[in-house]
Amino acid sequence: MQNILIDQRTVKKIIRKHKTNAPELLRLFLICQNTFYNRSGLFAINQLLDALHLSGHKSLNKKNTSNRSKKSKELKSLILSCPDLFFYSGNNIFRVNSKYAIHRRKPSWRMLSADIILKKNKRLFYDLVIGINADGKNIDYSTLAAATGYTQARCCQAMQSNDKNGHIYKINNLIVVQTFTSRADAAIFRIQLFKQYRVFSKVVKNKSSFSVVVYGANSYSSDMKLTPINGASQSIILNKRHDSNVFYKDRFSGLCYFKDAAAEQDYFWRRSAS
């Protein structure tokens, strides 16, 4: 199969409105877009069932009428719930909306292998849809869970999968609390930090010094961004710069530092209160 394009702004809009139904809606949208492109995106539910059967849903063959009937009702209800992606023309005929009907902003494309919309890769596609909401941000799992409607554990699994498959990379942010000249002094301070705030930390050697660091919100970065400009595409660049209200990152050591005392105090107050 050929490559397909998915717009990250569309993904964020649909998941904001439909939460846990968004990944399946987007997968159906891409299947319809890829299958019915030569018919101006027009299709009937039975034709969509045939397309799903070809994409790996073996139980949706025409001989299994009971399963097709049940799936037909589910698909119609799901598609009707999302007028942003699908337009209902009447008489059980639907049409895939164009990117201009979905939103008027300039699209931000990602090029994917079309295999990702097959049934065998369904979970992989779901992981990517969840991860797009974190791409280019400093974000924790509780915030991502609230944005997507999934549990924190499911978001964690999705981001691990994205990092493993090279879709969206996870960058661990370590924030320096204090730096010492000896490892022993750093170890003593680390114990005091846990007793006072119940915060886990570790000692990291940076050149000739030893820094006690705590874990900040992870950053996520992708090299899959592909925004066509005048028929050409921008160079694919892995962007590891992330703005944060709490810390800034040293480009040489990769360690992070609190921007000011207020940011540091706010961090420990939130961690100790949670």
Instruction: Give the three-class secondary structure for 233.
Output: strand
Q: Are residues 181 and 215 in the same domain?
A: yes
Contacts of 160 (CB under 8 A, 6+ apart): 170
**Dihedral angle sign, alpha carbons of residues 109, 146, 128, 132:** positive
Q: Are residues 260 and 130 in the same domain?
A: no
Average pLDDT over residues 12-33: 96
What are 95's strand-pairing partners? 42, 87
Please check the confidence at residue 18 and state whether its pLDDT lies above 80.
Answer: yes
Q: Are residues 138 and 37 in the same domain?
A: yes
Count other Cβ atoms within 10 Å, centred on residue 154.
Answer: 18
CA pair distance 146, 34, nearest whole angstrom: 31
190-212 pLDDT tens trace: 999 999 988 899 999 999 999 99
Contacts of 22 (CB under 8 A, 6+ apart): 11, 14, 15, 129, 148
Q: Are residues 174 and 248 in the same domain?
A: yes
Q: Are residues 129 and 205 in the same domain?
A: no
Please check the confidence at residue 188 and state whether its pLDDT lies above 50.
Answer: yes
Cα–Cα nearest to 85, from 6, 5, 4, 14 = 14
pLDDT attached to residue 229 = 47
Q: Which domain holds residue 190?
A: 170-273
Q: At what angle do helices 65-80 and 22-35 cross, to 10 degrees?
A: 110
DSSP code of residue 230: T
Q: Are residues 145 and 267 in the same domain?
A: no
pLDDT attached to residue 64 = 80
pLDDT attached to residue 237 = 42
Cα–Cα nearest to 7, from 94, 88, 128 = 128
pLDDT attached to residue 274 = 54
Q: By mean pLDDT, which of 166-175, 233-242, 258-267 is the weakest?
A: 233-242
Q: Are residues 190 and 91 in the same domain?
A: no
- The radius of gyration of the chain from alpha carbons, rounded to an integer in Å, stands at 23
Q: Are residues 192 and 159 in the same domain?
A: no
Position with higher pLDDT, 65 vs 171: 171
Instruction: Give the three-class secondary structure for 113.
Output: strand
Cα–Cα nearest to 138, from 256, 233, 38 = 256
Phi, psi of 256 (to 5 degrees): -110, 155
CA pair distance 243, 260, nearest whole angstrom: 15
Please check the confidence at residue 264 and state whether its pLDDT lies above 90.
Answer: no
Taking a C-beta distance cutoff of 8 angstroms, is the pair 36, 42 a contact?
yes
Last residue of a domain, one of 164, 191, 213: 164
Q: Are residues 77 and 121 in the same domain?
A: yes
Q: Are residues 99 and 182 in the same domain?
A: no
- pLDDT band of residue 104 (cuts 50, 70, 90) is confident
57-86 pLDDT tens trace: 999 998 888 889 999 999 999 999 999 999
- pLDDT band of residue 269 (cuts 50, 70, 90) is confident
Q: Are residues 248 and 179 in the same domain?
A: yes
pLDDT attached to residue 141 = 92
Number of folded domains that form the chain: 2
119-170 pLDDT tens trace: 999 999 999 999 999 998 888 899 999 999 999 999 999 999 999 998 999 9
Q: Are residues 208 and 236 in the same domain?
A: yes
Taking a C-beta distance cutoff of 8 angstroms, is the pair 48, 76 a contact?
no
- pLDDT band of residue 230 (cuts 50, 70, 90) is very low
Average pLDDT over residues 81-102: 92
Taking a C-beta distance cutoff of 8 angstroms, is the pair 97, 10 a contact?
no
Last residue of a domain, one of 114, 140, 164: 164
Last residue of a domain, one of 164, 185, 218: 164
